[in-house]
Amino acid sequence: MALVDSWEKQGNFLFKYRGQIPVLLFLIAIPFLYYTPDVNFIVQFYWNIVSVLVSILGFAIRFYTIGTTPKGTSGRNTKEQIAEFLNSTGIYSVVRHPLYLGNYLIWLGITIFTYNIYYTIIISLLFWIYYERIMFAEERFLERKYGEKYLNWSRSVPAFLPSFKNFKKSTFLFSVKSIMRREYASVLAAVIGFTFIDLVRLSIRNSNISISPFILQILIVVSIIVFILRSIKHYTNILEEKDRS
């Protein structure tokens, strides 16, 4: 099998199971947290601020992407690649894979929360290896479907590091409903990630199961909001929109 075919096959397989990467992140974090020395309150405060801001930036990218893209693109599909037309405006005029960039920043924020630079570097490398195959498979799919149109777009738009020199305003209005309908699971997953890191760190330090009251409160509030949004999505049509996934 040619290398490009092998990469594409791997990418399609990883694309199908890309939602499972947080589990790997959590498991790898445990030994790093065990061997990470305690840091003083001031250092913790700044590490926490940076970690949360990085994750918020990731969500901002995801929200803008989801909020300005139509039905048939940027979905949570796992069975196969879907692209009813080629996105080339808005966020897609500055970076080809904005959702994966957003994902990386969200999980980068969580890794920073461990206070362990080695863990952050290792997870970044694993993330790149994991998603490089997925991006390769997606681009092969788009190239076959859109041909020269895709190639012309991809030559002027970077894959992962944004370039704003050719920014084009999105042809779709920003939709808050799309974010409320589609992103609550991502927010809950990130909050669970921060909660898990805090739980493991404090439990190791105190030799018993411990968690910060503030983080626990955030988890409870977010869980309630997610439950409400999920119920509204499944039992009403309040969040439904024409031509939106």
pLDDT in single tens digits along all 245 residues of the chain: 555 556 556 556 666 666 666 677 778 899 999 998 888 888 899 999 999 999 999 999 999 999 888 776 655 554 555 555 677 788 998 999 999 999 999 999 999 999 999 999 999 998 888 888 888 888 888 878 888 888 888 888 888 888 888 888 887 888 899 899 989 999 999 999 999 999 999 999 888 999 999 999 999 999 999 999 999 999 998 888 776 66
Longest Cα–Cα distance in the chain? 60
Dihedral-angle region of residue 90 (phi above 0 means left; psi in -120 to 50 means alpha; beta otherwise): left
Q: What SS3 class is residue 173?
A: coil
Q: CA-to-CA distance for 72 and 161, rounded, in angstroms?
A: 24
CATH of 3-172, one of 1.10.357.10, 1.20.120.1630, 3.30.450.40, 3.40.50.2300: 1.20.120.1630
Instruction: Answer yes or no: pTM beyond 0.85.
Output: yes
Sign of CA dihedral 133, 136, 142, 145: negative
Q: Which residue type occupies 193?
A: G
Residue 69 DSSP class: -
Q: Which residue type occupies 201?
A: R
Q: CA-to-CA distance for 112 and 43, rounded, in angstroms?
A: 12
